[in-house]
Amino acid sequence: MDRCSRDQNCGIIPTWDWVRSPNGRTLDELYNINELLSNFKFADGNRDKWACNLFENGGFTVYSLSKLIDEKVLSPNIGAKCTDQVDFLPKKVGLFVWRAKQNRIPVRVELDKRGIDLDSVRCPVCDNDLETVEHIFIHCQFAKDLWLRVFRWWNLSRLPYENMGELFQGCVDSNHPELRSKLWKAIEWVCGYMIWRNRNLTVFQEKKGNSSMTLNELQIKAFEWISRRSQKLNISWSQWLLNPSLFDVYG
């Protein structure tokens, strides 16, 4: 709410400042809160204020709440340690993939199961199916297009992934035994990370990504991360784009 003023009967007349107009279930909630506010009276001296007590400063954004849900509701089990890392990727990527493999990414179906009230449980990227972890990383058209582009970049003739058990394992095409499976695993992880990033841009910033641009971003990001962390870098940017399997990270 941008600001509110009192009417002649000391009730509140809200002035809303929306980034995106409310609809569906959110609209019902808006009607309800309007009704509650219409009977609300300020205390003397106009000292009342609205605050969200989940956060220290009392402020509230959809992003901050989403992050909190992510941390508190979908946090990993105590004792279940994330040991699967690729040493030339940032830890946040490893942690993200580990959580995806454990079905602990805040997709809408999982949030709904945990009692979070949502407008829809459909995929925000394609709207063709429910948003499950498997859908967002494997069956969503955006993910399928991106994986195909990545396979082509690596000159892999493998079939598309069919389930989460096949994903993030670093298994390469048997026709390409020379490919370094650890490097390919890193690419799979970065690709999963970019798919989730695209999903969040769609949800929080209403930006529709495309797989071609996302592949470019993935190539830049992976090159930056891997070249910064690997000991022996012996590939140029142009080689990386043409044949990344030449990237000899182990010397």
> Which contacts (CB < 8 Å, 24+ apart) does range 247-251 have?
247/180, 247/183, 249/88, 249/180, 249/182, 249/183, 250/180
Among 140, 146, 191, 222, binds Zn ion (CB under 5 A): 140
Among 82, 121, 126, 233, binds Zn ion (CB under 5 A): 126
CB 246 to Zn ion: min, Å: 34
| Range in contact with Zn ion (rule: CB under 5 A) among 15-23, 86-94, 139-147, 197-205 | 139-147
Among 89, 100, 111, 125, binds Zn ion (CB under 5 A): 125
Q: Say whether residue 105 binds Zn ion (CB under 5 A).
A: no
Q: Say whether residue 30 binds Zn ion (CB under 5 A).
A: no
Q: Say whether residue 109 binds Zn ion (CB under 5 A).
A: no
Among 105, 107, 123, 249, binds Zn ion (CB under 5 A): 123
Q: How many residues bind Zn ion (CB under 5 A)?
A: 4
Question: What are the φ/ψ torsions at residue 2 (nearest 5 degrees)?
Answer: -70, -55
Euclidean distance between the first and the last CA atom of the chain, given in angstroms as a whole number: 58
| Triad 237, 242, 244: Cα angle to 5° | 75
Burial of 176 (0-12, 13-18, 19+ CB in 10 A): middle
Residues at the interface with Zn ion (CB under 5 A): 123, 125-126, 140
